Chains A and B, each alone.
Chain A
């Protein structure tokens, strides 16, 4: 009796071991599939041989020249693009974060007559495809004398930011209202409550909003391509790198593109990894609560 049960136990353990082995095998294969293209990109960026694609993974000649070319090339000024993107990202991050915080505070903590109407109109506006009206925005920028300028990009990225209030509003909703009421009894105005009580408690959501809005300009292709047209000096990295793969540049810039992609990917990857835990709770927070 004891014999059979121990046999069963070991059989069960073996089965379990086997199952885990299969899982490990699947995970390893998936890891390879997911990591290999990125490794390919990294290796190509150190490739000394010129030209476009090659049939082997490891470069025959290792070099750092691609990275040097990236920042010294006059024809495709990646350094300028990087700086442009950084400036645009910083300013649109500051403005967008402020706007998002203002809107979400107003909708979350303040009660006023037309609140519902505002929320509904916001919902409807958010359903239009973002770049549907970009021709009109471009015309408006032209009238303001801002066509093909970086300021236009900052405005485009931050003017509509107020619509992205949901995640931050959800966060504000979780701060107990009794805090507000206590402060109100002590004679604080709603303005003071915002600055002294709510903002210091909102560090996570400020970080989250700032990071998402900072990352945005680094990855946007659509608006830059339409707004900057052939004004290469004002490109941002996303469109600049895309340009490098154009027929006229790809032969001479293939490995440079790989280097540029690596240079852009590193900071964004780091920022995203910092942000991801906020990201998860932001996306699913509403769902879990229903």
Chain B
């Protein structure tokens, strides 16, 4: 029953997407206004079919219908309800099905938001997005069909991967990443529409920018949550290993970030159009490459997913998208003529250009290190990988350059800055940066790279805070507004500017946290009998004893520890090992004592019950928590910037104005 219904719905989605794609692109190229209504219908049908297919799968999972192939693969009667629902995206086929639903929601949201626009652009964009939808629906219907029938019907299944049901972060981290990945389809559609039409007006550029900011935000959150999950669950004490799967999510984030910056130059100076559009195409290509790398089993990575049949299909799609992108850029790109010039050397636009080059260089080096092993293996059959030292050595200088530019860019005005302006703008922030380094040295910190990072972080943070404070001060002085009112008004009058600076502060936090946690880590291992203790930094760790426990889907053994911090306060901690009924391997849960400036991180390595003893890995990671505490800044800043401005909410005649007449966004008032 579920199998038939699900397969039917997927085929319906395939038909709706194919129909809408053809009508949309054809209608857009011929400027048929009436076609938009038909495409909107196709989009709605696509959404309903995809949502229906997903609900069918969730229903099959919750009712333990093991006749459905995917349920038999990941379902289990012993799994708690929330993890049963979550197992929709815990393995390959289900996650692709879930992607289809997200794609449909994005396309539908875009269609709703632009249904009253002049129809040509939305038609081309929706047609392109639905063409991508055809691919995903085909994938679900064919090579990665989760609705296959199993016979004979097994009485029970193995349950989802225990690693994936060990932490609540697993419930939110993958959807966030998927929302980021799949959302890049929308800017891709918008950019392809601009290229097909051969023009990129201000209004369409604003559309492109907004619809890039949304997936970019999800991607940022997904990446940070992923590193948090790795840290809190995997128990190796790290959060980022330059694993191909991690790189896969990092690459589109890099090009997306570069896009968000170059879009500002595009908006202010009407130049870098082709470059900006190319970044949108690249972001989408990199998400497809990322999907291919994560989901096809080409990498024997720490995240290894099952070998599957979808690899070749994805490769063909990737090749097709690449060829279409290159042809579009080559043939239609010259039509996107720059209408302005870049300013002088010391200017906002030059520093953003530099920022873009650094981001491009970083994308290139990470991509090279990630893909090179695949290429080498394909040609010579030698299996190799590129070690983390390569990534660190390449990424650290480029990251430091980005941190530096983050302080330089906002300090410089658009156009051209006189030497006096430059001097005036940089004196105080540079002094703060130097002061930070001196304070760190006085505190006994060593390590050139870490100190450089701290100094530049002080510099960039000072610039950012000053740029946020300046308009507030002007309002207070000239309009006589009280502080909070001035802050609120200056922020809401230039939403993107303010939101962008909030995100910058979050990025500074991440930089500081990464530098500190990498440079000043303390590590030891120890084996204890009950009553024995070891010392690590200010912490004294004493083993109380071993304890067993049973939960419906797992049993566990915990080592109860009494940890005493430097001030003599006790903290009970209990790193555990979990034993899942349906999995043969025990999965550990590290115990983490988080404080404002350092984490104590304990994992249970091994234990013996008679006589009782246990071995531990223990680390102190300074400031590591700041990486995830930056999340509110990312989310708040991005939401604040993406929040619709009042003049945009208007419907009716204003929206039908010709593209070029649109007033510049108030966010531009820098």
- The reply to whether chain A is a binding partner of chain B is no
Using a CB–CB cutoff of 8 Å, the interface residues on chain B facing chain A are none
Using a CB–CB cutoff of 8 Å, the interface residues on chain A facing chain B are none
